[in-house]
Structure 1
Amino acid sequence: MIPWVHLDSAKIPGGGELRLMRRGAEFSIMSGSIELMNSRLSGSEKALATLSGDRIRGRAGPQVLIGGLGMGFTLRAALADLPADSGVVVAELVPAVVAWARGEMAHIFDGSLDDPRVTVREGDVAEAIGAGRAAYDAILLDVDNGPGGLNRDANDGLYSAGGLGAARRALRAGGVLAVWSAGPDAGFAQRLRKAGFGVEEVAVRATGGRRGARHVIWLAVAP
């Protein structure tokens, strides 16, 4: 078996560390012993974009905020689905992840970061959400494994009642907050409803097929 090779490490602001690993043509981003993402498993990250895209289809000049660059699967799926007059802001907390996207993993991103519709902001997506007032048609969050975060306590604020209220204010009427999670979370679904969202919970496979780990995507529509 081909061994894993450690390519780089990066500190997470506020604590923790990410490691970029490669085994042949396969890439992995790890936090300690936990794999956060793998280049072979992109189905649920793509579904985050396509499911939310279905709910804003037909809007003129749709504006989308993506929290977490990852390996770019959500970004690429969003760009494939959005019209030419759209705009996509990607907020990534760890600068090294952006560097990896332009370096070791550039072939995976396939030029998506250079798409004229895309703006990359190195910083906390919570700041981008807080600064927006009816600014976005969709907010897509794939941050810290979902509401049950692993790496950064500050990420819990995204999924708190206050964070969900900020997301609702940042969305246009009928806009969608789409949240990726490694698993179900009844408390989070309840907080979404209390924040005034219409909520749909969708189970998706990590592989994009019929097998593999089940992940959850919440689609929360603003009134």
Structure 2
Amino acid sequence: MPTAYDIPEVLDRREGPYGEVVLRRHGDLLQIIANGCFLMDTSDGRSERRLVDAALAALDERPGPRLLIGGLGVGFSLAHAAANSRWGRITVVEREPAVIDWHRRGPLSGLSRAALSDPRTEIVEADLVAFVNETSATYDALCLDIDNGPGWTVTEDNGGLYEPAGLAGCARLLRPGGVLAVWSAEPSPEFEETLRNAGFRHVRTEEIPVARGVPDVVHLGVRPG
């Protein structure tokens, strides 16, 4: 018979612009669920931190590089970026108002409070696909963590971001020599080839070991100078 510890406690449930989003507590963990699909929790964060570090390591030594993070999630990527003084402006695009609110006033604030109060940080409530297509801003690094990978998207509309036209949009907002880093729950040689065909250089994949199953990965590509 399950104990109270085994049963997740729903902390908040909201109808967002793309369906239902739920924040729940399971033991010591906070979890985000979208339309019944588990997205992420606060159990680790090593792959989200590696996403940011790999992008920075792939950049040249330009001062104060501007970072765009696609997806706020539980805040690991933002918090890690804000803890590094090398980054200049840090912009996070998140399409779910509930997720932003959980960070500003809710249970996730403990993970992101310092980052949100950092003067370098900007939170933009928008769909990342639309933002990429419409913004006139440019960045030195773009870290994408809005899906479970190029072949496993949270919503169907996100799929276009990993196709040639979507990657061309990503390249457009990157400055010469800028880096695209894409988190994925599994390796994708097909996506590596798509990155190369889209004009990115130095394409490679870094593996991040996880407790169980295949490693998470970060796909990396550099816009030509």
Same fold (TM over 0.5): yes
1:218 alignment counterpart: 219
Cα distance in 1, alignment partners of residues 140 and 152 from structure 2? 25
Cα distance in 2, alignment partners of residues 127 and 148 from structure 1? 19
Cα distance in 2, alignment partners of residues 155 and 12 from structure 1? 16
Pairwise CA distance, 1:205: 2.4
CA RMSD of aligned residues (A): 1.9
Pairwise CA distance, 1:125: 1.6
**Aligned 1:19-168 pairs, distance under 5 A:** 19-56=22-59, 58-83=61-86, 86-102=88-104, 103-132=106-135, 135-168=138-171
2:187 partner SS = coil
Which runs of 4 or more aligned residues in structure 1 lie more than 6 Å from their structure 2 counterparts after TM superposition?
none
1:148 partner SS = coil
Q: What count of residue pairs does the alignment treat as equivalent?
A: 217
- Residues 98-128 of structure 1: per-residue CA shift (max 9 Å, x gap): 0111211111224211210001000012233
Cα distance in 1, alignment partners of residues 101 and 194 from structure 2? 35
Cα distance in 2, alignment partners of residues 190 and 74 from structure 1? 26
Q: Does 1:203 align with 2:207?
A: yes
CA contact (8 A) 2:103 2:113 kept: no
2:83 partner SS = helix
Cα distance in 2, alignment partners of residues 41 and 148 from structure 1? 23
CA contact (8 A) 1:64 1:87 kept: yes
User: Can you give the 5+ residue segments of structure 2 that lack an aligned partner in the other structure?
Assistant: none
CA contact (8 A) 1:50 1:81 kept: no
Cα distance in 2, alignment partners of residues 133 and 33 from structure 1? 35
Cα distance in 1, alignment partners of residues 55 and 83 from structure 2? 13
Higher normalized contact order (CA 8 Å, seq sep 6+, divided by chain length): 1
**Which amino acid counterpart does residue 7 of structure 1 have in structure 2?**
L
Cα distance in 2, alignment partners of residues 185 and 149 from structure 1? 11
1:111 partner SS = helix
Pairwise CA distance, 1:173: 0.9
TM-score by length of 2: 0.89
2:44 partner SS = coil
TM-score by length of 1: 0.89
Structure 1 pair 96–11 and aligned structure 2 pair: CA distance change class (3 A): same
Cα distance in 2, alignment partners of residues 132 and 122 from structure 1? 13
Cα distance in 1, alignment partners of residues 98 and 36 from structure 2? 19
- Residues 55-75 of structure 1: per-residue CA shift (max 9 Å, x gap): 225212311110000011011
| Worse overlay, 105-114 or 160-169 | 105-114
CA contact (8 A) 1:16 1:152 kept: no
User: Can you give the 5+ residue segments of structure 1 that lack an aligned partner in the other structure?
Assistant: none
**Which amino acid counterpart does residue 89 of structure 2 have in structure 1?**
G
Q: Alignment partner for residue 191 of structure 1, among 184, 190, 194?
A: 194
1:104 partner SS = coil
**Which amino acid counterpart does residue 41 of structure 1 have in structure 2?**
D
- Residues 29-77 of structure 1: per-residue CA shift (max 9 Å, x gap): 1235542111012110111001111122521231111000001101111
**Which amino acid counterpart does residue 195 of structure 2 have in structure 1?**
L
Structure 1 pair 126–175 and aligned structure 2 pair: CA distance change class (3 A): same
